[in-house]
């Protein structure tokens, strides 16, 4: 893992797999389409969407499909988003109920155009899920809300089971990968979670393969752990389109195993690491320790 590695485009054998399909996949896709909903699985072109849909799971993307930021790794369109749909929380909860979900992951585009960054919309969605699905467990994957403590408190007050915010990459690459975000801002958000609500675990995720060094990966893992964050995901960056940042290196599965052991040794309670791991991949199983 060195920055001098040449840019690679051909996927290695461990990143090639048959995509599952069938009636369960089509059923979930149809429910999402009919409900006029969005999932990060589809919008971000996640490599796991066939597997997750076939297993009756999905990560709901709220507040539209247009982001106010233009991160160079992400396949979600940037631009000027439309107004919030006040009925969306109810429709998300209804779809989750029809899918018979017991663990629901909700994320969003970044909405820097909104006074609270969309925090109240997250809270409304959590409330709708709790109302419609008895015993539901909810994980929210939130943007940085431009560092607003009040916005974070609004989401935490709605009582999700897990508060997830991704670091994505190492400090040196932030200006390239996430030019409108801030490394220290994201660390501070994660640090606030246990200070505000010690009973709600914080979770974060990073991508590898963008040219980071081993020393930088060790540092970001340690930085995230020092915030009190308890859960971590580590996955392979994959270039969504030719317009996005290229893959510098494909990390072999044994290296992900090594990073998982390193993160556990640093004190994380739960770590998922692998080429296909994403922040919400098997999220329910990770939360339950399965």
- β-partners of residue 67 are 78
Alpha helices, DSSP H, located in the chain? 23-34, 40-43, 49-54, 88-98, 119-132, 149-157, 174-177, 183-196, 214-226, 253-265, 283-288
Q: At what angle do helices 214-226 and 183-196 cross, to 10 degrees?
A: 30
Query: Please, what sign has the CA dihedral across residues 271, 272, 275, 277?
Result: negative
3-state helix, strand, coil in the chain (%, to 5): 40, 15, 45
Distance CA 141, CA 167 (A): 11
Q: What is the CA radius of gyration of the chain?
A: 18
Contact 29, 7 (CB under 8 A): no
The answer to whether 51 touches 20, Cβ cutoff 8 Å, is yes
The strand pair at 103-108 and 66-67 is best described as unpaired
Instruction: Tell me: is residue 285 an annotated ligand-binding position.
Output: no
Tokens 């308890």 — which residue?
230
Residue 229 annotated as part of some ligand binding site? no
d(CA 204, CA 121): 21
How far is it, in rounded angstroms, from Cα 175 to Cα 189? Answer: 19
Binding residues for [4Fe-4S] cluster: 41, 46, 52, 67, 71, 74, 280
Binding residues: 41, 46, 52, 67, 71, 74, 280
């Amino acid at each position: 893992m060195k920055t001098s590695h040449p840019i690679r485009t051909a996927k290695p054998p461990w990143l090639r797999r048959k995509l599952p399909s069938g009636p369960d996949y089509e059923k979930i896709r149809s429910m999402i389409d009919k409900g006029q909903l969005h999932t990060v699985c589809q919008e971000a072109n996640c490599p796991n969407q066939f597997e997750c849909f076939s297993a009756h799971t999905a990560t709901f993307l709220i507040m539209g499909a247009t982001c106010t930021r233009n991160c160079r790794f992400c396949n979600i369109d940037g631009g000027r988003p439309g107004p919030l749909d006040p009925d969306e929380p109810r429709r998300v909860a209804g779809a989750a109920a029809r899918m018979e979900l017991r663990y629901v992951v909700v994320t969003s585009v970044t909405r820097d155009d909104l006074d609270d960054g969309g925090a109240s919309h997250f809270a409304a969605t959590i409330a709708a899920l709790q109302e419609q699905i008895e015993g539901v467990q909810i994980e929210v994957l939130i943007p940085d809300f431009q560092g607003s403590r009040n916005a974070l408190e609004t989401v935490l007050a709605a009582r999700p089971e897990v508060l997830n915010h991704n670091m994505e990459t190492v400090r040196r690459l932030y200006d390239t990968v996430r030019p409108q975000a801030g490394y220290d801002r994201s660390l501070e958000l994660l640090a606030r979670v246990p200070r505000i609500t010690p009973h709600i675990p914080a979770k974060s995720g990073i991508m590898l393969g963008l040219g980071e060094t081993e020393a930088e990966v060790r540092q970001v893992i340690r930085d995230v752990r020092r915030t009190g964050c308890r859960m971590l995901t580590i996955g392979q960056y994959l270039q969504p389109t030719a317009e996005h940042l290229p893959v510098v290196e494909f990390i072999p599965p044994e290296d992900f195993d090594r990073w998982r052991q390193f993160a556990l040794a640093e004190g994380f309670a739960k770590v998922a690491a692998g080429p296909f791991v994403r922040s919400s991949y098997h999220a329910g199983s990770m939360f339950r320790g399965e």
